[in-house]
Amino acid sequence: MHHPMWPRLLAAACVACGGAVPLAAQIDYRNLDGHRPARVTDAYPIERYAFELTLPYGFSRGSGVSTHTVSPHLEYGVGRNLMIGVGAEVADRSAESTLGLGGLWNVRRETPSWPGLGLSFEITQPLDGARFGADATVSLGALATRAVGRSRVHLNAAAAILRPETAGRRTEPAWWAGLAWDYTLFRTSALLVAELFAEDPGGGSDVDWVAGLGARRQLTPTLVIHGGIERSLRSEGGTTEFNLGLSHAFAVRALMRGGNR
């Protein structure tokens, strides 16, 4: 009898996130990235001149269809409070593979009277028989983050300003908006996150509400493991998605000449 792989992978992530040995002065586990593990992210980019390579695996099931994806992604802190990233989502035959380019600019840091605010952009290009550029989706977003003790509250919203409606082709949402709460476990260098978001698939479909849970944990000074689950709240035809991955932070000395961290 064939047993799916994702329950074992999710169990491994839970074990890794619990019973941890403290890692001093490491905070990369607090950096929320899109779908790593939650859709909602914080309003801050990675450090200036820093790289972060992420290798996530995803599994989703809905309407009797199962999909496996691998989504390598590389981000770079190109300037103060500014990062860019490039990645791919390589799916099995049940879904479409894509390339992506994005960026995040932290407009202002959090103050006693204002949350941290950020602006983002994302360009997604399908690969399977698509016309390069003509079938790309361009989205703009806004992000806010507010700290409350060990917790933080995040608010994200994004909308597609260019979104082709190609028949039979998967496209990015027309818009989505979400709220997330995270809690830091400093003694174990771990972060827990819960989220709720809504997205409009477009094409006359109903808005879908999705709830999610996830965790990030620092394994070494440069390595973070993350895992999460998202579930559509539709009574019928809802999709459940799992993700599990590793993130590696590093720097290239030649790119740091004359720069201040």
Q: How many residues does the chain have?
A: 261
Res. 131 pLDDT band, cuts 50 70 90: confident
Query: Given this model, what pLDDT does residue 258 score?
Result: 56
Give the CA diameter of the chain.
60
When the pLDDT of each residue in the chain is averaged and rounded to a whole number, the result is 86
Percent of the chain with pLDDT over 70: 84
pLDDT digits (tens, 9 = 90+) for 213-224: 999 999 999 999
Res. 204 pLDDT band, cuts 50 70 90: confident
Both tokens of 230, joined, read 């998202």
Query: Given this model, what pLDDT does residue 257 score?
Result: 59
Query: Given this model, what pLDDT does residue 15 score?
Result: 43
pLDDT digits (tens, 9 = 90+) for 155-180: 999 999 998 865 445 568 999 999 99
Of 208, 203, 132, 213, whose CA–CA distance to 171 is shortest? 203
pLDDT digits (tens, 9 = 90+) for 232-246: 998 787 899 999 999
Domain positions in the chain? 6-252
Query: Given this model, what pLDDT does residue 51 score?
Result: 95
- In this structure, what DSSP letter does residue 21 have? P
Q: Assign domain 6-252 one CATH number from 3.30.1180.10, 2.40.160.40, 2.60.120.560, 3.30.360.10.
A: 2.40.160.40
Please check whether residue 247 is in contact with residue 224, taking contact to mean a CB–CB distance below 8 angstroms.
yes
Is the pLDDT score of 55 beyond 70?
yes
Give the whole-angstrom CA distance, residue 48 versus residue 50.
Answer: 5
Is the pLDDT score of 105 beyond 50?
yes
Q: What is the mean pLDDT of residues 27-35?
A: 90
Query: Given this model, what pLDDT does residue 99 score?
Result: 95
pTM: 0.86
In the chain, alpha helices (H): 6-17
Query: Given this model, what pLDDT does residue 171 score?
Result: 63
Is the pLDDT score of 34 beyond 70?
yes
Q: Which residues contact 67 (CB under 8 A, 6 or more apart)?
A: 58, 59, 60, 61, 91, 92, 94, 95
